[in-house]
Amino acid sequence: MCGILFSLRCAPSEGLSCDNHEIEVAFQDLLGKLEIENAARGPDAQDTVHVNSSSAHMSFFASELRLRGESPVVQPHRDDEGNILCWNGEIASEDNDGAYLFSRLCATWSLEDVRDLLGGIEGPYALVYYHARLQKIIFARDPLGRRSLLIHRPTTECPYLLLASVSVGVHPGYLPEELPTEHIYALDANQLRGIPCTSAVLSKVNRSIPHDPPEVHDLDSIPPHLTSAVDDLLHHLDRSVMLRVRNIPRVGIREGQARVAVLFSGGIDSTMLAFLAHRHVDPSEPIDLLNVAFENPRKISVQIEGNIGALPKRERKQKMKERLDYSTVNVEYDVPDRLTGAQEVEELRRLCPGRIWNFVEVNVPYEESQAARPVVEALMFPCKTVMDLSLAAALYFAARGIGQIRSHCGAEPEPYTSPARVLLNGLGSDELLGGYGRHRTAFKHAGWQAIVDELQLELDRIPTRNLGRDDRVISSHGKETRHPFLSLSVVSFLLQLPVHLKTDPRLEAGFGEKMLLRLAARKVGLMEASVRKKKAMQFGSHSARMVPGADFKKGDLLLNP
């Protein structure tokens, strides 16, 4: 994980009001704050390169979190020709991927060459590259948007261009938005005119509609028409996990400490990733399973007093006057994800007895979650809905990795902080394999065609929904999240499969959704995980709907509108 911060301002002679004192003060304040936040993403090294010309002033700042290669690399990459690269990404086959990509970019002679080179990258990335020969500033995110890159486009009040991996929340110096993934962008450094180039695009969902396909009767025996698909899914997913956990440098991590962690709910997605990681992580190393649980006063009030919100208005007001002092309540962090996680770690211990599985109980008191709220809101900005906050808060505390572990089930907990810098995340499986309840609803209304349409919609909005926000939140702790289900090879494989091989809404919950993955999990021995029903992270961790007695807000409502 690395941080990128690029700024471009026209020289005063070009007529933009860069000399305006208020604009300059706001710009410098913003730039300083963005540098601090970007440095948190890459604590191992930071540097800045300035490029000045008669028409423009450019600044390239980059920070480095060293997760590949044994020798340190300082960004931005630069050479004697004037080429400059700020890189945040993974080229899975290379140890020093930034240096490797920089050498390839320096050898390009046209924008088409750059487009073709970036289009062949399988892993996640965000980059800003100054092509000295072409006098172009080139910037982009991968087609799935797995790495954050925010853009502020010049306005009359803020007449400069900014590109940054992070945000600092609301600030008068910018209006950030997620950089779209449909294009690779090229800006003429002399004429300051944007030229979007065609980017690599994702394939479309297989639109073939089955006619009364055979039903799977149980998970214990794989029917012939699914045998190949199950084996191929395991192959592609196993390779994706392998590429994301191998060769992680032991920077600041001692022998016998975990280099890999999993954002772990005990559901089928995170459990499958943990199991496959076991195949490729040194057997002498622990794997940390990060499981987050929130103290939620609303949930506690329901347990003690019943659902006050469901009472008639007069009774509800009277109840509110007589409320208990919840600070005296003994808080138990037995949220749904804690219970399923504790069950599932025991299954992993049975299947992989030689591995140390650190089940990290990350318990978040209500006061602590509320104190962190301004920080989380700033990190996730420009995302600003109620649901954004619920999800971002869960990821923020889980990625921080401060909690407790037990040597075995029933043992007393011991304080523990996960040193792992690489976090595996199961995001993407529901979108690709039909795991949401809305897929079952769509089928009830309009059959297989409706599911195909819904899966295409899921694919189209993956770049704009969660990934940039999650990247900004998790990386604030100097950690990097990796998404094996969103490897382009896994995505391409699943997109070409007919819909009925991936999901079957005719079957009961805990069986039909993500049916292909459930069969694969059962084949490798994950018996309990294979039948576990989906629980959204914000509800499984109790990070949603914190305030007792308050009206329940819809997830898409804006915070403090």
Q: For the residues 240-259, what does the mean pLDDT come to?
A: 92
DSSP 440-472: HHHHHHHHHHHHHHHHHHHHHHHHHHTHHHHHH
pLDDT of res. 215: 92
Q: How many CB atoms lie within 10 A of CB 95?
A: 14
Expressed as residue numbers, the domain containing 274 is: 228-295+331-540
Q: For the residues 201-205, what does the mean pLDDT come to?
A: 80
pLDDT of res. 197: 67
Of 192, 2, 226, 215, give the one whose Cα is nearest residue 101.
2
Report DSSP state, residue 117. Answer: H
- What CATH number does residue 344 fall under? 3.40.50.620
Specify the pTM: 0.91
- pLDDT band of residue 71 (cuts 50, 70, 90) is low
Q: Are residues 288 and 418 in the same domain?
A: yes
Which of residues 181, 198, 215 is at a domain's end? 198
Return d(Cα 508, Cα 14) in angstroms, integer: 66
Q: For the residues 13-22, what does the mean pLDDT come to?
A: 54
DSSP 184-249: EEEEETTT--EEEEEPP-PPPPP----SSPPPP--SSS--HHHHHHHHHHHHHHHHHHHHHHTT--
pLDDT of res. 6: 98
Question: Order of strands across the sheet with 160-164?
Answer: 45-52, 56-64, 2-10, 160-164, 150-152, 177-178
For β-strands 287-294 and 260-263, DSSP reports them as parallel
| 411 domain-assigned | yes
Return d(Cα 238, Cα 248) in angstroms, integer: 17
Mean model confidence pLDDT for the chain: 90
Q: Are residues 502 and 390 in the same domain?
A: yes
Residue 73 clears pLDDT 90, i.e. is over it? no
Q: Is the peptide bond before 12 cis (omega within 30 degrees of 0)?
A: no
Q: How many CB atoms lie within 10 A of CB 506?
A: 14
Q: Are residues 461 and 335 in the same domain?
A: yes
Contact residues for 13 (Cβ-Cβ < 8 A; gap 6+): 54, 55
- pLDDT band of residue 476 (cuts 50, 70, 90) is very high
Residue 305 clears pLDDT 70, i.e. is over it? no
Residue 201 clears pLDDT 70, i.e. is over it? no
Task: Dihedral sign for Cα 54, 58, 59, 65, please.
Answer: negative
pLDDT of res. 188: 87
Q: Are residues 338 and 393 in the same domain?
A: yes
Burial of 465 (0-12, 13-18, 19+ CB in 10 A): middle
pLDDT of res. 14: 44
Q: Give the percent of the chain with pLDDT over 70.
A: 88
H-helix or E-strand spanning residue 61: strand 56-64
pLDDT of res. 325: 61
Supply angle C-alpha 329, 334, 337, rounded to 5.
145
Q: Is the peptide bond before 76 cis (omega within 30 degrees of 0)?
A: yes
pLDDT of res. 410: 85
- pLDDT band of residue 354 (cuts 50, 70, 90) is very high
Of 99, 105, 144, 108, give the one whose Cα is nearest residue 126.
144
Question: Which of these ranges, 136-140, 185-189, 403-407, 440-444, has the smallest mean pLDDT?
Answer: 185-189
H-helix or E-strand spanning residue 163: strand 160-164
Q: Are residues 116 and 156 in the same domain?
A: yes
- pLDDT band of residue 561 (cuts 50, 70, 90) is low
Q: CB of 455 within 8 A of CB of 434? A: yes
Q: Count the domains in the chain.
A: 2
Question: Which of these ranges, 25-34, 197-206, 373-382, 409-418, has the smallest mean pLDDT?
Answer: 197-206
Between 20 and 423, where is the model more confident? 423
| 490 domain-assigned | yes
| 315 domain-assigned | no
Q: For the residues 521-549, what does the mean pLDDT come to?
A: 89
Task: Dihedral sign for Cα 296, 302, 303, 304, please.
Answer: positive
Tokens of 512: 């039909």
| 559 domain-assigned | no
Backbone angles phi, psi at 136, to 5 degrees: -125, 140
Of 382, 375, 395, 376, give the one whose Cα is nearest residue 474.
395
Catalytic (active-site) positions: 2
Q: Are residues 74 and 164 in the same domain?
A: yes
Residue 16 clears pLDDT 50, i.e. is over it? no
| 304 domain-assigned | no
110 three-class SS = coil
pLDDT of res. 17: 46
Q: CB of 528 within 8 A of CB of 344? A: yes
Q: For the residues 476-499, what does the mean pLDDT come to?
A: 96
Q: For the residues 116-134, what does the mean pLDDT come to?
A: 94
| 221 domain-assigned | no
Question: Measured between alpha carbons, how far is residue 311 from residues 307, 315, 326 in Å?
Answer: 7, 6, 20
Contact residues for 295 (Cβ-Cβ < 8 A; gap 6+): 331, 333, 363, 364, 365, 366, 369, 542
Q: Are residues 268 and 336 in the same domain?
A: yes
Q: For the residues 457-484, what does the mean pLDDT come to?
A: 94
pLDDT of res. 383: 94
| 92 domain-assigned | yes
Q: Are residues 233 and 98 in the same domain?
A: no
Residue 319 clears pLDDT 90, i.e. is over it? no
Backbone angles phi, psi at 147, to 5 degrees: -120, 140
